[in-house]
Amino acid sequence: MPLHQSRRIYADHALLTDGWHAQVVVDINADGMISAVHSNVDPAQRRQQPCDWSCRHLVPAICNLHSHAFQRAMAGCSERLDSADKRNFWGWREHMYRLANALTPDSLSAISRLAYMEMLEAGFAAVAEFHYVHHAADGSHYQPLEQMAQGILAAAADSGIGLCLLPVLYTQADADGRALAAQQLRFGNSVDDYLRLLQAINGCLDHHAADTQLGMAAHSLRAVSPAQLQCLLQQLQPQQPLHIHVAEQRAEVTSVQQHLGLPPLQWLLENTNIDQRWCLVHATHATTAELKALQQTGCSIGLCPQTEANLGDGVFALPDWLAMGGHSGIGTDANIRISVTEELRLLEYTQRLLQQRRQVLQPGDIADNIDAQGEALYRHALRGGAQALQRRSGVIASGHWADLLHLDGSVCGMDHLNRSNLIDGWLFAAGSDMVRDVWSAGRHVVVNGRHVQRQQICSDYAAAMRNIQHSLT
Ligand code: ZN
Protein backbone atom coordinates (compact mmCIF):
# COMPACT_ATOMS: atom_id res chain seq x y z
CA MET A 1 0.00 0.00 0.00
CA PRO A 2 1.57 3.35 -1.00
CA LEU A 3 2.32 5.67 1.92
CA HIS A 4 0.59 9.03 2.01
CA GLN A 5 2.80 11.90 0.89
CA SER A 6 2.06 15.21 2.60
CA ARG A 7 2.37 18.40 0.55
CA ARG A 8 1.55 21.16 3.03
CA ILE A 9 1.84 21.07 6.84
CA TYR A 10 0.85 23.75 9.33
CA ALA A 11 2.35 24.17 12.81
CA ASP A 12 1.40 26.56 15.62
CA HIS A 13 5.12 26.61 16.43
CA ALA A 14 8.06 25.19 14.48
CA LEU A 15 11.77 24.94 15.23
CA LEU A 16 13.49 26.48 12.19
CA THR A 17 17.20 27.07 11.59
CA ASP A 18 17.20 30.33 13.58
CA GLY A 19 14.91 29.20 16.39
CA TRP A 20 11.20 28.90 17.06
CA HIS A 21 8.65 30.57 14.77
CA ALA A 22 4.87 30.83 15.06
CA GLN A 23 2.14 29.97 12.52
CA VAL A 24 4.44 28.11 10.18
CA VAL A 25 3.51 26.49 6.86
CA VAL A 26 5.91 23.95 5.33
CA ASP A 27 5.52 23.18 1.61
CA ILE A 28 6.81 19.81 0.36
CA ASN A 29 7.43 18.88 -3.27
CA ALA A 30 6.49 15.59 -4.96
CA ASP A 31 9.92 14.10 -4.19
CA GLY A 32 9.52 14.72 -0.45
CA MET A 33 11.78 17.75 -0.19
CA ILE A 34 10.86 20.97 1.57
CA SER A 35 10.24 23.56 -1.12
CA ALA A 36 9.27 26.53 1.07
CA VAL A 37 8.81 27.52 4.72
CA HIS A 38 6.57 30.45 5.71
CA SER A 39 6.20 31.98 9.19
CA ASN A 40 3.35 34.09 10.61
CA VAL A 41 0.81 32.74 8.13
CA ASP A 42 -2.58 33.99 9.33
CA PRO A 43 -5.80 31.92 9.20
CA ALA A 44 -7.15 33.81 6.18
CA GLN A 45 -4.03 32.94 4.16
CA ARG A 46 -4.26 29.32 5.27
CA ARG A 47 -7.87 29.07 4.09
CA GLN A 48 -6.76 30.02 0.58
CA GLN A 49 -4.32 27.10 0.41
CA PRO A 50 -5.47 24.41 2.86
CA CYS A 51 -2.88 22.23 4.62
CA ASP A 52 -2.80 18.40 4.77
CA TRP A 53 -2.15 18.35 8.49
CA SER A 54 -1.96 20.67 11.50
CA CYS A 55 0.51 20.36 14.36
CA ARG A 56 1.12 22.05 17.67
CA HIS A 57 4.94 21.86 17.65
CA LEU A 58 6.94 20.81 14.60
CA VAL A 59 10.64 19.99 14.88
CA PRO A 60 13.13 18.29 12.54
CA ALA A 61 13.13 14.48 12.88
CA ILE A 62 16.46 12.88 13.60
CA CYS A 63 18.60 10.25 11.80
CA ASN A 64 19.50 7.00 13.55
CA LEU A 65 23.15 6.67 12.57
CA HIS A 66 23.79 3.05 13.55
CA SER A 67 21.49 0.04 13.48
CA HIS A 68 21.67 -3.74 13.15
CA ALA A 69 17.94 -4.18 12.63
CA PHE A 70 17.91 -7.98 12.96
CA GLN A 71 19.17 -7.72 16.56
CA ARG A 72 15.73 -6.33 17.52
CA ALA A 73 14.64 -9.99 17.56
CA MET A 74 16.87 -10.74 20.57
CA ALA A 75 15.82 -7.71 22.65
CA GLY A 76 15.47 -8.92 26.22
CA CYS A 77 16.82 -12.39 25.39
CA SER A 78 20.45 -11.92 26.35
CA GLU A 79 20.06 -11.15 30.04
CA ARG A 80 20.08 -14.70 31.46
CA LEU A 81 23.17 -15.22 33.58
CA ASP A 82 26.13 -16.47 31.58
CA SER A 83 29.16 -18.09 33.21
CA ALA A 84 31.36 -15.49 34.90
CA ASP A 85 33.92 -15.41 32.06
CA LYS A 86 31.20 -14.67 29.49
CA ARG A 87 29.45 -11.76 31.21
CA ASN A 88 30.86 -9.34 28.66
CA PHE A 89 30.59 -8.20 25.03
CA TRP A 90 32.17 -11.40 23.74
CA GLY A 91 29.67 -13.60 25.58
CA TRP A 92 26.80 -11.48 24.22
CA ARG A 93 28.27 -11.86 20.74
CA GLU A 94 27.75 -15.65 20.91
CA HIS A 95 24.01 -15.09 21.54
CA MET A 96 23.94 -12.69 18.59
CA TYR A 97 25.71 -15.19 16.30
CA ARG A 98 23.06 -17.82 17.07
CA LEU A 99 20.35 -15.43 15.93
CA ALA A 100 22.31 -14.22 12.90
CA ASN A 101 22.76 -17.80 11.73
CA ALA A 102 19.05 -18.58 11.98
CA LEU A 103 17.95 -15.71 9.72
CA THR A 104 16.46 -16.14 6.27
CA PRO A 105 15.93 -13.32 3.77
CA ASP A 106 12.23 -13.28 4.72
CA SER A 107 12.76 -13.25 8.49
CA LEU A 108 15.48 -10.60 8.19
CA SER A 109 13.02 -8.45 6.27
CA ALA A 110 10.14 -8.98 8.73
CA ILE A 111 12.31 -8.18 11.76
CA SER A 112 13.78 -5.12 10.06
CA ARG A 113 10.29 -3.87 9.19
CA LEU A 114 9.31 -4.03 12.86
CA ALA A 115 12.51 -2.29 13.95
CA TYR A 116 12.03 0.48 11.37
CA MET A 117 8.38 0.95 12.35
CA GLU A 118 9.45 1.35 15.99
CA MET A 119 12.19 3.80 14.98
CA LEU A 120 9.62 5.93 13.17
CA GLU A 121 7.24 5.82 16.14
CA ALA A 122 10.13 6.94 18.35
CA GLY A 123 10.78 9.96 16.10
CA PHE A 124 13.60 8.78 13.82
CA ALA A 125 13.00 9.64 10.16
CA ALA A 126 15.97 7.76 8.67
CA VAL A 127 18.41 5.02 9.57
CA ALA A 128 21.93 3.95 8.64
CA GLU A 129 21.73 0.16 8.50
CA PHE A 130 25.11 -1.46 9.15
CA HIS A 131 24.34 -4.65 7.26
CA TYR A 132 26.68 -7.62 7.51
CA VAL A 133 24.54 -10.79 7.22
CA HIS A 134 25.08 -11.22 3.48
CA HIS A 135 25.08 -14.96 2.70
CA ALA A 136 23.59 -18.31 3.65
CA ALA A 137 24.73 -19.80 6.96
CA ASP A 138 27.45 -21.91 5.32
CA GLY A 139 28.82 -18.86 3.50
CA SER A 140 27.40 -19.83 0.10
CA HIS A 141 26.05 -16.93 -1.93
CA TYR A 142 22.36 -16.34 -2.49
CA GLN A 143 21.09 -15.94 -6.01
CA PRO A 144 20.86 -13.07 -6.50
CA LEU A 145 23.89 -12.10 -4.45
CA GLU A 146 22.08 -9.13 -2.88
CA GLN A 147 19.05 -11.09 -1.64
CA MET A 148 19.55 -10.22 2.04
CA ALA A 149 20.09 -6.55 1.17
CA GLN A 150 16.86 -6.65 -0.82
CA GLY A 151 15.12 -7.74 2.39
CA ILE A 152 16.43 -4.61 4.12
CA LEU A 153 15.46 -2.38 1.19
CA ALA A 154 11.95 -3.87 1.17
CA ALA A 155 11.62 -3.32 4.93
CA ALA A 156 12.58 0.33 4.51
CA ALA A 157 10.16 0.78 1.60
CA ASP A 158 7.26 -0.87 3.46
CA SER A 159 7.85 1.06 6.68
CA GLY A 160 8.60 4.33 4.90
CA ILE A 161 11.83 5.06 6.79
CA GLY A 162 14.64 6.82 4.92
CA LEU A 163 17.39 4.25 4.42
CA CYS A 164 21.12 4.65 4.15
CA LEU A 165 22.22 1.08 3.50
CA LEU A 166 25.78 0.33 4.57
CA PRO A 167 26.87 -3.09 3.29
CA VAL A 168 29.72 -4.18 5.54
CA LEU A 169 33.07 -5.60 4.48
CA TYR A 170 34.01 -8.40 6.88
CA THR A 171 36.85 -10.72 5.90
CA GLN A 172 38.68 -12.07 8.95
CA ALA A 173 38.07 -13.10 12.56
CA ASP A 174 40.66 -10.84 14.20
CA ALA A 175 43.40 -8.31 13.52
CA ASP A 176 45.96 -11.12 13.22
CA GLY A 177 44.28 -12.12 9.94
CA ARG A 178 42.88 -15.45 11.14
CA ALA A 179 40.13 -17.00 9.02
CA LEU A 180 36.47 -16.45 9.79
CA ALA A 181 34.99 -18.82 12.37
CA ALA A 182 32.13 -21.09 11.32
CA GLN A 183 29.49 -18.75 12.78
CA GLN A 184 30.94 -15.77 10.86
CA LEU A 185 30.87 -17.36 7.39
CA ARG A 186 27.70 -15.63 6.29
CA PHE A 187 29.24 -12.21 6.98
CA GLY A 188 32.34 -12.84 4.84
CA ASN A 189 33.29 -11.41 1.45
CA SER A 190 36.49 -10.97 -0.47
CA VAL A 191 36.98 -7.36 -1.54
CA ASP A 192 35.99 -8.35 -5.10
CA ASP A 193 32.81 -10.04 -3.90
CA TYR A 194 32.04 -7.02 -1.74
CA LEU A 195 32.37 -4.66 -4.70
CA ARG A 196 30.14 -6.94 -6.77
CA LEU A 197 27.60 -6.88 -3.97
CA LEU A 198 27.70 -3.07 -3.85
CA GLN A 199 27.19 -2.89 -7.59
CA ALA A 200 24.26 -5.31 -7.43
CA ILE A 201 22.60 -3.30 -4.63
CA ASN A 202 23.20 -0.10 -6.53
CA GLY A 203 21.28 -1.63 -9.43
CA CYS A 204 18.23 -2.09 -7.17
CA LEU A 205 18.03 1.51 -6.00
CA ASP A 206 16.09 2.79 -9.01
CA HIS A 207 13.07 0.93 -7.64
CA HIS A 208 13.26 2.66 -4.27
CA ALA A 209 12.45 6.09 -2.89
CA ALA A 210 14.65 8.97 -4.04
CA ASP A 211 16.07 9.44 -0.54
CA THR A 212 17.45 5.86 -0.39
CA GLN A 213 21.24 5.90 -0.23
CA LEU A 214 24.07 3.40 -0.50
CA GLY A 215 27.13 3.93 1.67
CA MET A 216 30.09 1.72 2.53
CA ALA A 217 31.30 0.18 5.76
CA ALA A 218 34.26 -1.75 7.11
CA HIS A 219 33.22 -3.80 10.11
CA SER A 220 36.30 -2.87 12.18
CA LEU A 221 40.07 -3.11 12.10
CA ARG A 222 39.59 -6.55 13.67
CA ALA A 223 37.55 -7.79 10.73
CA VAL A 224 39.22 -6.00 7.77
CA SER A 225 42.95 -5.90 6.97
CA PRO A 226 44.76 -2.60 6.24
CA ALA A 227 45.16 -3.52 2.55
CA GLN A 228 41.46 -4.38 2.22
CA LEU A 229 40.46 -1.14 3.91
CA GLN A 230 42.60 0.81 1.43
CA CYS A 231 40.87 -0.98 -1.51
CA LEU A 232 37.49 -0.04 -0.09
CA LEU A 233 38.48 3.59 0.44
CA GLN A 234 39.62 3.89 -3.18
CA GLN A 235 36.03 3.20 -4.25
CA LEU A 236 34.43 5.76 -1.92
CA GLN A 237 32.50 8.41 -3.84
CA PRO A 238 32.11 12.10 -2.96
CA GLN A 239 29.18 12.48 -0.52
CA GLN A 240 29.15 8.73 0.15
CA PRO A 241 29.19 7.81 3.85
CA LEU A 242 31.83 5.46 5.26
CA HIS A 243 31.20 3.88 8.65
CA ILE A 244 33.40 1.68 10.84
CA HIS A 245 33.17 0.26 14.38
CA VAL A 246 36.21 1.41 16.30
CA ALA A 247 37.63 1.30 19.86
CA GLU A 248 34.41 -0.10 21.35
CA GLN A 249 36.11 -2.69 23.56
CA ARG A 250 39.45 -2.67 25.39
CA ALA A 251 40.27 -6.15 24.03
CA GLU A 252 39.79 -4.80 20.49
CA VAL A 253 42.13 -1.86 21.16
CA THR A 254 44.76 -4.25 22.54
CA SER A 255 44.45 -6.68 19.63
CA VAL A 256 44.77 -3.95 16.99
CA GLN A 257 47.72 -2.40 18.81
CA GLN A 258 49.43 -5.78 18.99
CA HIS A 259 48.97 -6.67 15.33
CA LEU A 260 48.99 -3.29 13.56
CA GLY A 261 51.37 -1.50 15.92
CA LEU A 262 48.97 1.28 16.97
CA PRO A 263 45.61 1.50 18.73
CA PRO A 264 42.77 1.59 16.19
CA LEU A 265 41.93 5.30 16.17
CA GLN A 266 45.57 6.30 16.00
CA TRP A 267 46.11 3.76 13.23
CA LEU A 268 43.23 5.23 11.21
CA LEU A 269 44.49 8.77 11.78
CA GLU A 270 47.97 7.88 10.53
CA ASN A 271 47.03 5.59 7.64
CA THR A 272 43.82 6.97 6.11
CA ASN A 273 42.39 10.35 5.17
CA ILE A 274 39.43 10.59 7.52
CA ASP A 275 37.01 13.34 6.48
CA GLN A 276 33.44 14.47 7.04
CA ARG A 277 32.05 11.39 5.20
CA TRP A 278 33.38 9.16 7.97
CA CYS A 279 31.32 8.06 10.95
CA LEU A 280 33.40 6.37 13.64
CA VAL A 281 30.97 4.19 15.55
CA HIS A 282 31.51 4.08 19.34
CA ALA A 283 35.11 5.38 19.67
CA THR A 284 34.50 4.65 23.34
CA HIS A 285 38.15 4.31 24.30
CA ALA A 286 39.45 7.31 22.36
CA THR A 287 42.23 9.24 24.07
CA THR A 288 42.20 13.03 24.36
CA ALA A 289 44.98 13.29 21.76
CA GLU A 290 43.01 11.09 19.34
CA LEU A 291 39.86 13.19 19.85
CA LYS A 292 41.75 16.41 19.15
CA ALA A 293 43.11 14.96 15.90
CA LEU A 294 39.69 13.53 14.94
CA GLN A 295 37.97 16.87 15.49
CA GLN A 296 40.28 18.39 12.87
CA THR A 297 39.11 15.85 10.26
CA GLY A 298 35.43 16.92 10.46
CA CYS A 299 34.25 13.32 10.99
CA SER A 300 31.30 12.38 13.15
CA ILE A 301 31.26 9.98 16.10
CA GLY A 302 28.39 7.50 16.31
CA LEU A 303 27.27 7.13 19.92
CA CYS A 304 24.95 4.29 20.88
CA PRO A 305 24.38 4.93 24.59
CA GLN A 306 21.87 2.18 25.41
CA THR A 307 23.77 -0.54 23.55
CA GLU A 308 27.11 0.61 24.96
CA ALA A 309 25.59 0.51 28.45
CA ASN A 310 23.98 -2.88 27.87
CA LEU A 311 27.26 -4.37 26.63
CA GLY A 312 29.40 -2.75 29.31
CA ASP A 313 31.58 -1.00 26.71
CA GLY A 314 32.64 2.03 28.74
CA VAL A 315 31.93 5.78 28.65
CA PHE A 316 32.97 8.01 25.75
CA ALA A 317 34.53 11.36 26.77
CA LEU A 318 31.60 13.30 25.33
CA PRO A 319 32.05 16.50 27.38
CA ASP A 320 35.58 16.83 25.96
CA TRP A 321 34.41 16.07 22.40
CA LEU A 322 31.62 18.67 22.63
CA ALA A 323 33.98 21.27 24.08
CA MET A 324 36.28 20.70 21.08
CA GLY A 325 33.35 21.33 18.72
CA GLY A 326 33.26 17.71 17.54
CA HIS A 327 30.25 16.29 15.68
CA SER A 328 28.27 13.33 16.96
CA GLY A 329 24.87 11.71 16.74
CA ILE A 330 23.02 8.73 18.16
CA GLY A 331 22.34 5.20 16.99
CA THR A 332 20.15 2.44 18.35
CA ASP A 333 22.72 -0.21 17.37
CA ALA A 334 21.48 -3.50 18.91
CA ASN A 335 17.92 -2.14 19.14
CA ILE A 336 17.37 -3.42 22.68
CA ARG A 337 15.20 -0.32 23.21
CA ILE A 338 14.30 1.94 20.31
CA SER A 339 13.95 5.48 21.64
CA VAL A 340 15.32 8.89 20.73
CA THR A 341 14.71 10.24 24.20
CA GLU A 342 16.25 7.36 26.12
CA GLU A 343 19.44 7.48 24.05
CA LEU A 344 19.95 11.20 24.64
CA ARG A 345 18.84 11.10 28.28
CA LEU A 346 21.27 8.26 29.06
CA LEU A 347 24.12 10.27 27.51
CA GLU A 348 23.45 13.17 29.84
CA TYR A 349 22.59 11.13 32.95
CA THR A 350 25.78 9.03 32.66
CA GLN A 351 27.78 12.25 32.79
CA ARG A 352 25.73 13.63 35.71
CA LEU A 353 26.43 10.48 37.73
CA LEU A 354 30.13 10.52 36.85
CA GLN A 355 30.61 14.23 37.54
CA GLN A 356 28.09 14.66 40.37
CA ARG A 357 26.60 17.78 38.82
CA ARG A 358 23.79 18.71 36.40
CA GLN A 359 23.51 19.89 32.80
CA VAL A 360 26.91 18.59 31.77
CA LEU A 361 26.67 18.22 27.99
CA GLN A 362 27.04 21.58 26.27
CA PRO A 363 27.47 21.18 22.51
CA GLY A 364 30.14 23.60 21.33
CA ASP A 365 28.85 23.58 17.75
CA ILE A 366 25.40 24.92 18.68
CA ALA A 367 24.74 28.64 19.00
CA ASP A 368 25.30 30.02 22.49
CA ASN A 369 21.82 31.53 22.61
CA ILE A 370 20.11 28.19 23.32
CA ASP A 371 19.63 27.98 27.06
CA ALA A 372 17.61 24.74 26.99
CA GLN A 373 19.95 21.82 27.49
CA GLY A 374 17.73 19.18 25.89
CA GLU A 375 17.18 21.34 22.82
CA ALA A 376 20.91 22.02 22.43
CA LEU A 377 21.68 18.31 22.72
CA TYR A 378 18.93 17.37 20.27
CA ARG A 379 20.07 19.96 17.72
CA HIS A 380 23.62 18.70 18.02
CA ALA A 381 22.46 15.11 17.40
CA LEU A 382 20.28 16.26 14.47
CA ARG A 383 23.31 17.74 12.77
CA GLY A 384 25.61 14.81 13.59
CA GLY A 385 23.06 12.26 12.41
CA ALA A 386 22.43 14.04 9.11
CA GLN A 387 26.18 14.28 8.53
CA ALA A 388 26.78 10.61 9.31
CA LEU A 389 24.16 9.60 6.72
CA GLN A 390 25.17 12.41 4.32
CA ARG A 391 21.44 13.11 4.20
CA ARG A 392 20.06 16.56 3.58
CA SER A 393 18.02 16.70 6.76
CA GLY A 394 18.21 17.81 10.37
CA VAL A 395 16.69 21.25 9.74
CA ILE A 396 13.34 22.54 8.53
CA ALA A 397 14.49 24.52 5.53
CA SER A 398 13.99 24.61 1.79
CA GLY A 399 16.13 22.07 -0.10
CA HIS A 400 16.11 19.51 2.70
CA TRP A 401 14.13 16.28 2.98
CA ALA A 402 10.87 16.76 4.84
CA ASP A 403 11.96 14.73 7.89
CA LEU A 404 9.53 16.17 10.40
CA LEU A 405 8.25 15.40 13.86
CA HIS A 406 5.04 16.62 15.50
CA LEU A 407 5.36 16.82 19.31
CA ASP A 408 2.35 17.45 21.52
CA GLY A 409 2.61 17.47 25.32
CA SER A 410 -1.15 17.70 25.87
CA VAL A 411 -1.62 13.98 25.14
CA CYS A 412 0.49 12.86 28.11
CA GLY A 413 0.01 15.38 30.90
CA MET A 414 2.75 17.69 29.63
CA ASP A 415 0.54 20.50 28.35
CA HIS A 416 2.48 22.97 30.50
CA LEU A 417 5.45 22.72 28.15
CA ASN A 418 5.94 25.62 25.80
CA ARG A 419 8.42 26.08 23.02
CA SER A 420 11.17 27.22 25.40
CA ASN A 421 11.21 23.89 27.24
CA LEU A 422 9.37 21.56 24.87
CA ILE A 423 12.38 19.46 23.83
CA ASP A 424 13.74 19.41 27.40
CA GLY A 425 10.37 18.04 28.53
CA TRP A 426 10.27 15.49 25.70
CA LEU A 427 13.79 14.17 26.35
CA PHE A 428 13.85 14.20 30.13
CA ALA A 429 10.23 13.56 31.10
CA ALA A 430 7.68 12.59 28.49
CA GLY A 431 9.42 10.14 26.15
CA SER A 432 7.84 8.71 23.01
CA ASP A 433 4.28 9.49 24.14
CA MET A 434 4.74 13.05 22.88
CA VAL A 435 5.48 11.86 19.32
CA ARG A 436 2.23 12.33 17.43
CA ASP A 437 3.22 12.40 13.74
CA VAL A 438 6.36 11.62 11.81
CA TRP A 439 7.18 12.35 8.18
CA SER A 440 10.19 10.81 6.43
CA ALA A 441 10.97 12.64 3.18
CA GLY A 442 7.34 13.79 3.26
CA ARG A 443 5.90 10.29 3.81
CA HIS A 444 3.37 10.59 6.63
CA VAL A 445 4.17 7.28 8.32
CA VAL A 446 3.23 7.88 11.96
CA VAL A 447 -0.25 9.32 12.48
CA ASN A 448 -1.53 10.17 15.96
CA GLY A 449 1.30 8.20 17.58
CA ARG A 450 0.97 4.98 15.58
CA HIS A 451 2.61 3.72 12.42
CA VAL A 452 0.08 3.46 9.60
CA GLN A 453 1.00 -0.21 8.89
CA ARG A 454 1.46 -1.29 12.52
CA GLN A 455 -1.00 -4.18 12.51
CA GLN A 456 0.39 -5.86 9.38
CA ILE A 457 4.01 -5.33 10.38
CA CYS A 458 3.43 -6.83 13.86
CA SER A 459 1.62 -9.83 12.44
CA ASP A 460 4.40 -10.52 9.87
CA TYR A 461 6.99 -10.18 12.65
CA ALA A 462 5.18 -12.67 14.89
CA ALA A 463 5.04 -15.20 12.04
CA ALA A 464 8.76 -14.77 11.32
CA MET A 465 9.70 -15.15 14.97
CA ARG A 466 7.95 -18.53 15.23
CA ASN A 467 10.60 -19.90 12.85
CA ILE A 468 13.64 -18.51 14.64
CA GLN A 469 12.56 -18.66 18.28
CA HIS A 470 14.85 -21.64 18.86
CA SER A 471 17.94 -19.47 18.25
CA LEU A 472 17.15 -17.18 21.18
CA THR A 473 17.54 -19.61 24.07
ZN1 ZN B 1 27.30 -1.98 15.63
Contacts of 363 (CB under 8 A, 6+ apart): 322, 376, 377, 379, 380
Please state, in angstroms and rounded to a whole number, the distance separating the CA atoms of residues 99 and 92. 11
Q: Answer for the pair 425, 372: CB distance below 8 angstroms, yes or no.
A: no
* C-alpha 106 – ligand 1 centre gap (Å): 22
| From 282, 380, 406, 451, the catalytic residue | 282
* Preceding peptide of 144 cis, ω within 30°: yes
> pTM of the predicted model, to two decimals?
0.97
In tens, the pLDDT along 175-185 reads 999 999 999 99
Long-range contacts made by residues 262-268, C-beta under 8 angstroms, separation at least 24? Answer: 263/287, 263/290, 264/220, 264/221, 265/290, 265/294, 266/290, 267/221, 267/226, 268/221, 268/244
Kindly state the average pLDDT of the residues 130-156. Answer: 97
> By C-alpha distance, which of 376, 293, 286, 279 is closest to 333?
279
Which CATH superfamily hosts domain 8-60+401-451? Urease, subunit C, domain 1 (2.30.40.10)
| From 158, 211, 333, 460, the catalytic residue | 333
Checking if the pLDDT of 196 tops 80, the result is yes
**Alpha helices (runs of H) in 239-302, residue ranges in sequence order:** 250-260, 264-271, 288-297
Element (H, E) at 355: helix 340-355
> By C-alpha distance, which of 267, 149, 277, 158 is closest to 202?
149
* C-alpha 368 – ligand 1 centre gap (Å): 33
* C-alpha 104 – ligand 1 centre gap (Å): 20
In tens, the pLDDT along 110-129 reads 999 999 999 999 999 999 99
Virtual CA dihedral for 342, 347, 350, 351, nearest 10 degrees?
Answer: -150
Checking if the pLDDT of 404 tops 80, the result is yes
> By C-alpha distance, which of 64, 388, 134 is closest to 242?
388
* C-alpha 284 – ligand 1 centre gap (Å): 12
pLDDT value of residue 367:
59
333 in catalytic set: yes
Range 62-389 classified under CATH 3.20.20.140: yes
Domain ranges of the chain: 8-60+401-451, 62-389
Q: DSSP characters for 240-258?
A: --EEEEES-SHHHHHHHHH
* C-alpha 245 – ligand 1 centre gap (Å): 6
User: Of 56-65, 73-82, 143-152, which range is least confident?
Assistant: 73-82
Q: Answer for the pair 392, 401: CB distance below 8 angstroms, yes or no.
A: yes
Provide, rounded to the nearest whole percent, the portion of the chain with pLDDT above 90.
87
Contacts of 360 (CB under 8 A, 6+ apart): 319, 348, 351, 352
